[in-house]
Structure 1
């Protein structure tokens, strides 16, 4: 296939021209820009430029939507966190002369079987890690000092997906996505695909729109002790914390109590 041959040639040239660390951080930045910032900006523009459409399709009422002050605070906080983590990544790579990486960066492209295998493995592992960590963060001792910041948006928006305490950002946002494929020493492009997909997913489920698959997580922000899982939701069903989707009775357990 001409397209595949062209991609293979370009990728081979990239891997022979640039050090592995430079490729890794570039892939991470591009995934963040495409999977999170672009999508979150589009949702925000939809909120601001088309209020009548937004009011029609938002899961919660217009009166409960975040104020402009809250939106600006969220933007500054998330942008600062992203820049800080990127700078830290750059510093770590600098001390290894851009040679030490978490992922494999060969001169060939990953096969379709490799991509699908990595994606399925990472999806299941991320679900288990995220559910466990997220539910632990709702323990009163941790919630008050860490997770409460994220839940200050009782009516979520896409940008608020990464509005979190630094400890939570590392444990709940970064580790469940990065660690599974890093331990597997997956191809960097397999990781890029998974990272972009998960960032897009988390931005969408925080969007508050009824067409973006956000209903389950929107209820989590509204009721707090339900729908702890990420994209799969099997563990919520298994442990009785699901409200919509998997719950056969149509009502989750423990939804009546809200953390303070």
Structure 2
């Protein structure tokens, strides 16, 4: 009996020792890995910083330090060029059906193939109106606010760590604000009088990321994007990058082609209206407002059309 107890104690001791050694070894490995990554990160960011710092200083002095000119170029011209460039490509694909490597990934087959040019021209007019008469004044108003919050034209650029941290914060804040504001605009009264404009397109195209009622554009689109930089007192370069990324992301999520998972996510919102309210889908997962979407994805490949789901399910049944 004593031998069995002693043997059991030995087994328990060695198991404990093995667990302790494993935890200690894992902790040591993570510590070394963290220090190595930190060292490489510092080297990488340190190598990039002088180049971009020089470019920023050259631009600043070339424009004579004129803050309004710098701000307009950074927050209006640069995002505008990216927005209209990508949407020009997408509109060519929508109208002509070419190039094939884009159009072969149509999400809702048989829709916008080709696109209704009358509706498209209306979307372009509304998008231009929102950009010129709403987005531009709101972004211009940001200059005195950013100067009050910090030093947006500092000759010293933010560190790469600070830059990436701001992007992450802005993205998280936009997800939170956009989800709840957007979902509230699906209240019957607000939807009927305001948000229904945007949902005239049950199969969206890239340009309609700007196609919305002016009130909808201000509250749903602009405020969630601008709030983060205001809270952080962002540098104009960080602000420019954030605005450019948001207009590109908005165009991609509305493009109607299965280029990224986020495209199908928002496309499904236009198809079903009461699903997939968020930007990235975190809050939809939390609140269960993506259940139908997740069920539909279980029976299709990423490039398959959403309306074809029943057909896909039937095929699976036949195979079984």
Measured against the shorter chain, the TM-score band is 0.7 to 0.9
Partner of 1:205: 253
Partner of 1:106: 154
Question: 1:37 aligned to 2:87?
Answer: no
Structure 2 vs 1, CA of residues 45 and 249 (structure 1 numbering), >3 Å: closer, same or farther?
A: closer
Structure 2 vs 1, CA of residues 52 and 24 (structure 1 numbering), >3 Å: closer, same or farther?
A: closer
Q: Which has the greater radius of gyration? A: 2
Aligned partners of 1:5, 1:190: CA distance in 2, in Å?
13
- Indicate the larger mover: 164-173 or 100-109: 100-109
Question: 1:229 aligned to 2:252?
Answer: no
Aligned partners of 1:90, 1:60: CA distance in 2, in Å?
35
Superposition TM-score, scaled by structure 1 size: 0.83
Aligned partners of 2:243, 2:237: CA distance in 1, in Å?
10
Task: Give the C-alpha shift of residue 120 in structure 1.
Answer: 0.7
The equivalences for 1:42-191 within 5 A come to: 42-51=89-98, 53=100, 56-63=104-111, 66-85=115-134, 88=137, 100-102=144-146, 104-191=152-239
Superposition TM-score, scaled by structure 2 size: 0.69
Higher helix share: 2
Q: Is the CA contact 1:12–1:108 (under 8 Å) kept in the aligned structure 2?
A: no
- Indicate the larger mover: 166-175 or 104-113: 104-113
> How many matched pairs?
244
Q: Deviations over 1:107-161 (max 9, x none)?
A: 2222101101100110100000000100000000100000000000111000001
Q: SS at the partner of 2:248?
A: helix
Unaligned runs of 5+ in 2: 1-46, 300-320
Unaligned runs of 5+ in 1: 94-98, 252-260
- Indicate the larger mover: 119-128 or 81-90: 81-90
Equivalent residue in structure 2 for 1:28, among 57, 71, 75: 75
